[in-house]
């Protein structure tokens, strides 16, 4: 089941919170990934607030768009 021939293969670390404590020793890519991971919940919250506030308006605009598109499609077929 497990391939023991590739034991020298370098595994990518997913949960490396202990390494983030040594900020000076991190590479630029690791620092950027950490900053993205910290800012992602804020982005999700902003999207949630906007969708919660403007959900009805977005649905109405989409409904109007598809209604107009459907009516124009029928006019071109005649």
| Whole-number pLDDT of residue 14 | 65
| Whole-number pLDDT of residue 59 | 96
| Whole-number pLDDT of residue 51 | 94
What is the model's pTM?
Answer: 0.54
| Whole-number pLDDT of residue 66 | 94
pLDDT of 78 higher than 60? no
Domain extents in the chain: 51-78
What does the chain look like in DSSP terms, one character per residue? ---GGGTTPPPPPS--HHHHT-GGGS-HHHHHHHHHHHHHHHHHHHHHHHHHHHHHHHHHHHHHHHHHHHHHHHHHH-
Q: Under a CB-based contact definition with an 8 Å cutoff, are residues 20 and 26 in contact?
A: yes
| Whole-number pLDDT of residue 42 | 96
What does the pLDDT look like over 14-51, one tens digit per residue?
666 777 788 888 889 988 988 998 999 999 999 999 99
């Amino acid at each position: 089941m497990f391939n023991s021939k590739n034991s020298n293969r370098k595994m990518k670390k997913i949960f490396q919170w202990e390494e983030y404590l040594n900020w000076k020793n991190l590479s630029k890519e690791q620092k950027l990934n950490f900053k993205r991971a910290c800012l992602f919940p804020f982005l999700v919250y902003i999207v949630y607030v906007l969708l919660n506030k403007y959900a009805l308006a977005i649905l109405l605009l989409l409904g109007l768009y598809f209604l107009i598109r459907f009516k124009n499609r029928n006019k071109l077929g005649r």
